[in-house]
């Protein structure tokens, strides 16, 4: 109930990992239970429509009232896909390539040669194009997404990969105020690498994909200035910018979309979502709309039931001011962790985060795993990422009263922990 979960052995735990950042308003929320009893929900429980060919008559209005209400600034179009972040990113990549080739053809229909050669997986119908991603990034486990995923080797092992380029992502030093000059130089180094790859990569770069925080890679951050310059680079080169908000989206970072905090000169071209939204898809600029039907398509094309869930989630977020709550609670948690890090830097370091999207580092991978285990045995469920990072991914209803439980537990862990 709420922020607490009971395990198979009957132990009650404060859940701060929340199904890998995908539990938006806690367990068994009263408004969600009430909504689930409606006839509208019941109808979609009995049969799931193939929305691409047989949508219900109220689906367009339902889609507009839910998704357009929360659309990122400048992105008027939304594509619902399937049920996970990988499918959102996979289809976003396809939209990028379609837009790129549509431009290359000057808006003309594909040629007979393109139509026949693509059936043989050959150019020009299957063009030599790529998506640039960053070291430490994670964008999914489906085939195309795996070629842009640069963390967790076990997911990529034994799978043929597309020869797509990778750029360095800034390795910031903490505390930020102490290393401002060094971090600025590090970000400039990475941006120059991006420019060089776009200009010189043997396979033309059609898009760049980036997470606001490289979560699976160890919760790696960059400054808003870094992302502003990245947007300028992509716009200047005519390369699409995809912001992967699968894990950061829907309020966890202190704004509904994490990229809203960057003050970009122009909006991203595409923003993907899943997890806390319960539905999966992407928002996009008009020019990325396919020029023919069925080009981005699957049987389900989303799930009306998940869209109804998303509507309730958004209503609760607005009613209870949960985005503001993540700012308040996040600041409280950061202050508590920084105080712990000041006393026990050999155990807790590099405290960082935005909203309640927070992480810190242990000294070694073994220390990280021991801290996770100790916290769980004391009733707090946390998650790991990268090689030695611990990440917090609580629901949006996680409040200072819950944060006190977490910080008290951390005090017990570091007091009893033996190096």
Active site residues: 138, 244, 275, 299
Phi, psi of 243 (to 5 degrees): -100, 115
Distance CA 45, CA 51 (A): 15
Query: How crowded is residue 238: how many other Cβ atoms within 10 Å of its Cβ?
Result: 11
Dig out the tokens for 111 from the structure.
């040629």
Dig out the tokens for 415 from the structure.
């007091």
CA 161 to chain centre: 22
Distance CA 263, CA 219 (A): 21
Residue with tokens 């806390």: 276
Q: Which residues lie below 8 Å from residue 365, measured CB to CB, with a gap of 6+?
A: 387, 388
The span from the first CA to the last CA of the chain, in angstroms, equals 36
Assign 198 to helix, strand or coil.
helix
With contact defined as beta carbons under 8 Å apart, do 224 and 262 qualify? yes
Distance CA 15, CA 72 (A): 29
């Amino acid at each position: 109930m709420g922020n607490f979960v009971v395990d198979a052995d009957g132990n009650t735990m404060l859940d701060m990992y929340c199904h890998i950042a995908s539990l938006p308003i806690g367990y068994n929320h009263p408004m969600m239970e009430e909504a689930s009893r409606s006839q509208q929900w019941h109808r979609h429980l009995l049969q799931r429509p193939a929305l691409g060919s047989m949508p219900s008559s109220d689906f367009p209005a339902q889609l507009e009232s839910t998704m357009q209400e929360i659309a990122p600034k400048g992105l008027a179009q939304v594509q619902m896909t399937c049920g996970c972040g990988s499918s959102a990113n996979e289809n976003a990549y396809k939209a990028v390539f379609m837009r790129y080739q549509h431009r290359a053809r000057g808006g003309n229909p594909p040629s007979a040669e393109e139509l026949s050669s693509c059936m043989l997986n050959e150019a020009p119908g299957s063009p030599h194009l790529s998506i640039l991603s960053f070291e430490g990034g994670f964008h999914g486990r489906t085939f195309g997404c795996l070629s842009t995923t640069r963390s967790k080797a076990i997911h990529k092992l034994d799978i043929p990969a597309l020869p797509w380029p990778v750029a360095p992502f800034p390795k910031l030093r903490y505390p930020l105020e102490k290393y401002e000059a060094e971090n600025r130089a590090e970000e400039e180094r990475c941006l120059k690498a991006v420019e060089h790859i776009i200009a010189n990569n043997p396979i033309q770069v059609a898009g760049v994909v980036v997470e606001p925080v490289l979560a699976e890679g160890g919760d790696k951050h960059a400054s808003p200035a870094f992302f502003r310059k990245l947007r300028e680079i992509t716009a200047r080169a005519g390369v699409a910018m995809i912001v992967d908000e699968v894990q950061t989206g829907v309020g966890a970072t202190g704004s509904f979309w994490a990229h809203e905090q960057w003050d970009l000169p122009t909006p991203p071209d595409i923003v993907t979502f899943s997890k806390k939204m319960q539905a999966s898809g992407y928002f996009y600029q008009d020019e990325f709309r396919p020029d023919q039907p069925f080009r981005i398509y699957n049987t389900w094309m989303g799930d009306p039931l998940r869209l109804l869930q998303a509507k309730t989630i958004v209503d609760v977020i607005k009613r209870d001011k949960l985005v503001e709550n993540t700012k308040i609670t996040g600041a409280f948690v950061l202050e508590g962790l920084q105080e712990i890090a000041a006393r026990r830097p050999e155990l807790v370091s590099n405290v960082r985060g935005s909203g309640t999207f927070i992480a810190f580092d242990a000294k070694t991978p073994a220390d990280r795993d021991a801290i996770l285990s100790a916290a769980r045995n004391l009733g707090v469920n946390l998650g790991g990422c990268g090689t030695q990072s611990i990440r917090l991914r609580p629901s949006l209803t996680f409040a200072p009263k819950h944060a006190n439980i977490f910080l008290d537990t951390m005090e017990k862990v570091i007091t009893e922990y033996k190096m």
